[in-house]
Amino acid sequence: MRSILRSNDIRELVRIYDYPEARDMPHGLIERTEAWDYNGIKSNVQHILLDGIYISQRRQSQTRDFILETEHDFPFLKMQFEMHGHSDFVRSKHGSFDLTIDAGRHQLFFFPEVKGQLTYPRFQDRNTLEIILAVSFLKRLFNNNLDILKHFGAGIEKNQPVFAANSCMPITPEMFLVISQIRQCTYTGLFRKVYIESKVVELLLMQIEQSDTYGEQAKSALQKSDVEKFHYLKELIADNPYKPYSLAQLSEIGGINNFKLKKGFRQLFGKTVFGYITEVRMQKARELIMQGEKSIAEIAYLSGYKNPQHFTVAFKKQFDCLPSNLKP
């Protein structure tokens, strides 16, 4: 298991993390601290590695935008808590989703493949707790019954990218307490290992419990009539993937104002209107390419791209293969 973080503009900043096996951990855990200061970016990270649990407690400040190319060569299951600061991930490879986590919020997610760009905005100090879990640890924890985790467990079993909740959730006072307990643990040796592991499990259960209700709370915050309109518009887009709808047109069709459409659609479905339109068109384009009845240039034009090259770039980003690779 290896993670690589690389800055394109700071040559010295390349971080490669290899995660050890349990047999290589004395007392069941390994700890190390790293600190660095490059070109206005300061970071102090405490790493705690247990069997199937990899914790990073990060404090970071920057006077410039901090951009990292990131890649993980293993299925990426992560609990991320942004106590302060902001994290923005944009994927460059199929197998993950774009993800933004604002200050005071958290997310539990699974990405089968990770390759993309992380951005941390200037003048925003970061204080985070990031916990990577091995899928084997999660399965062991739930006795190989991931069905108990509903859609999240199903995504892991199908090796598909999935969020525990459609949008990032607020960090509760109870979560802050457990995070503090992890950071201030004074036990040593095996006692430290057992204590930290129990707190990670406690934090994980809090995330799962909150995600079970958070999606429903988001829906209940919308009026029932609006929810029905959003579902109608979603089906309309899916049934007419090549119709060049504008937000104004969809607002008029749905009988809902532009602002509410943008905010409510993302709140309900976890993606923007145009993000969903692109997703539907790319899925349809994939089907047409595999049927082999139309040229890639024709399919690109149908998908809203005047330049086939631009379509090819977008298609590769979505499916991690060239359109020509799928032609029969």
> Please, what are the domains in the chain?
2-219 (2.60.120.10), 224-326 (1.10.10.60)
SS3 of residue 163 by DSSP = strand
User: Could you tell me how many helices (H) and strands (E) the chain has, helices first?
Assistant: 10, 14
Inform me whether the pLDDT recorded for 216 exceeds 60.
no
- Report the predicted TM-score, pTM, of the whole model to 2 decimal places: 0.67
The reported pLDDT for the residue numbered 26 is 67
**Does 23 score more than 80 pLDDT?**
no
What percentage of the chain has pLDDT greater than the value 70?
A: 95
Instruction: State yes or no: pLDDT of 262 exceeds 90.
Output: no
Buried b (16+ CB within 10 A) or exposed e, 83-105: bebebebebebbbbbebebebeb
Best mean pLDDT range from 61-70, 122-131, 187-196, 290-299: 187-196
User: What's the pLDDT score for residue 215?
Assistant: 58
CA distances for 94 relative to 165, 208, 320, angstroms:
20, 25, 5
Q: How do residues 36-68 score in pLDDT, each as one tens digit?
A: 888 888 999 999 999 999 999 999 988 888 889
pLDDT range class, residue 137, cuts 50, 70, 90: very high
Query: What's the mean pLDDT in 195-204?
Result: 97
Of 54-68, 175-189, 221-235, 242-256, the poorest mean pLDDT is in: 221-235
Torsion over CA: 101, 103, 105, 109 (sign): positive
pLDDT(31) > 80 = yes
Q: Does 22 have pLDDT greater than 70?
A: no
| pLDDT exceeds cutoff 80 at 108 | yes
3-class secondary structure, 98: coil
Q: Rounded to the nearest 10 degrees, what angle do helices 224-239 and 247-254 cross at?
A: 130
Q: Which positions ≥6 away from 207 have C-beta within 8 Å?
A: 79, 106, 108, 164, 169
